[in-house]
Each structure stands twice: as structure tokens, then as C-alpha cells.
Amino acid sequence: MINQCINERLQRDNLSINEFQELLIRLLNYGILCRNESQTEQQLYDRYLRVSDLVNEYLALIGIRIFHEQRFEYIRLYPPGSELPGMGDAEYSTFGGSLRRRLRQEEVALILVLSIQYDKALQEGLVDENGYVVDSFESISIAMKNILGRHLPDKMTDRKRLFQRLKQLRLITYKQDDDIESGEAWLKIHPMIVSFVSEDALQSLSNAGDPQAIEHQGNDAIEPPVSENPDISHQNPDNQQDNVS
């Protein structure tokens, strides 16, 4: 009965069941879909626009909700119990199931600093037409020390892994891993960072006056997507190098 209903609606939108399944699998596997990330994600994003109501209804059956930022053309999935940007607490706010993936402390720290850097650039009008903020790796490192009293990982392999993780989350983009070794290299901070970090977390940091305030923030400050594959960069053949100007 459900399959029949879905097929009828897909036929009305001139979409095959295989195309619908591909879209759902991609969303559930990545948790994030950015139109400007690659040609494949552009096609899938445009496909979502055609059947957004059906996708939303389908995922709502298992408590997954979608946040769609139309201006910057990206989609994020939120697991049951999550709070969506601009909305109140979810009905089942105590849910803590396996759809959530805990972020490491160093990941939370870097995300918070990136969010502060983005907000600062936003206030200064240093945002491009697509909502991105350009910043250097050196500037991020200095901000990490000044804001939180922390340092980026000393080992370059650990540092690359940290930035690669945030790149997988689509929060930042840069040309290549070697850029991380150069303090003069640049990265772009995605406008998604605004909805990724809670306002309470940023306010808490600004009022705390304590470099170790991050120790008390943890994952409560961050609302990660439904699913992030740790090997996503190796499993995504359509992933293109980002052009950071």
C-alpha cells in the first residue's frame, strides 16, 4: 500500500523509484546535501526540490526532520529529538539513539571558533555573494588560542584529520590537504556554520571569560547531522576540489 502510494506520487512528478531511493540513501548516508559541493549533489538537490514534500513525509515517519536553507541551497537532516534552527524544542527531546554521532572535543572547539570567526566577518560585511567567509589557517589557529586558550593538534596528520572532518560536514572547504601545512593558505567557512552552533553556546563562551569554557560545552553546543560517514571523502568519487579564492 505504501509502495503504491509512493509510486503514484513519483509518477506524477516524473521521477522513478530508483531515483527516489538514490536521493534518500544519499541523504541518510551523508546527512547533508549542498548544491554547490559537486555536480552530483547539485542534481540530487534539484531532485529533492521536485519531491520535497514526499521526502519530508517519508523521513518524518521515523522522526527525522529536514532543515532546508533555500538561500544558500543546502539541506541538513536532524535525528529525532533534535532542535531545528529557528524552531522550539522537539517533542522527544530526550532521544539519544544511534543516529547521533558524538563529536570529538577538538572538533567541537574548532567548530565553535569557526562560528565566531564567521559571525565576526559577517558583522564586518566580509561575506561573499554565496554566504561564504574566507579566512586563513593561520588566523584560525590564532583565534583558537585567543578565544579558547587551545592549540590545533601538533602532529600534521592529526591536524589534517581534524580539518578533513569539518570538510566532510560541509562546514568548510579548501583546495587540498597540503594547504593546512601553510599558514598563508585559505579556507572558506560555509554559512551552514550559523545553524550548526547554538546561539546559547556562543553566548556562553563570550560571557564565560574562561579559556576552558569549551570543556563544559561539549556536544550540547553542536547539533550534528543524522549520519556522517568517516570515510566519506574516499567514497565520494564525484567530490571535486574546491576553488578558494
The pLDDT score that the predictor gives to residue 96 is: 36
Q: Is residue 86 part of a domain?
A: no
Are residues 110 and 153 located together in one domain of the fold?
A: yes
Q: Is residue 178 part of a domain?
A: yes
Q: Which amino acid is at 39?
A: Q
Task: Say whether pLDDT at 236 is over 60.
Answer: no
Distance in angstroms (rounded) separating the CA atoms of residues 192 and 223: 12
Are residues 114 and 206 located together in one domain of the fold?
A: yes
The pLDDT score that the predictor gives to residue 87 is: 53
Average pLDDT of span 58-80? 91
Task: Say whether pLDDT at 196 is over 50.
Answer: yes
Are residues 47 and 129 located together in one domain of the fold?
A: no
Average pLDDT of span 221-242? 44
Are residues 137 and 59 located together in one domain of the fold?
A: no
Sequence-ordered strand ranges (E) for the chain: 32-34, 65-69, 74-78, 133-136, 172-173, 186-189
Range of the domain at 165: 105-233
* pLDDT per residue as tens digits for the range 88-123: 444 433 333 334 556 888 998 999 999 999 999 999
* pLDDT per residue as tens digits for the range 120-143: 999 999 999 989 999 999 999 999
Are residues 118 and 168 located together in one domain of the fold?
A: yes
The pLDDT score that the predictor gives to residue 125 is: 94
Q: Is residue 245 part of a domain?
A: no
Q: Is residue 100 part of a domain?
A: no
Q: Is residue 89 part of a domain?
A: no
Q: Provide the 8-state DSSP code for 51.
A: S
How buried is 35 (Cβ within 10 angstroms: 0-12 exposed, 13-18 middle, 19+ buried)? middle
Are residues 114 and 186 located together in one domain of the fold?
A: yes
How buried is 2 (Cβ within 10 angstroms: 0-12 exposed, 13-18 middle, 19+ buried)? exposed
Task: Say whether pLDDT at 1 is over 80.
Answer: no
The mean-pLDDT minimum among 8-12, 76-80, 147-151, 217-221 falls in: 217-221
Distance in angstroms (rounded) separating the CA atoms of residues 185 and 103: 26
Q: Which amino acid is at 174?
A: Y
Q: Is residue 97 part of a domain?
A: no
CA 212 to chain centroid: 25
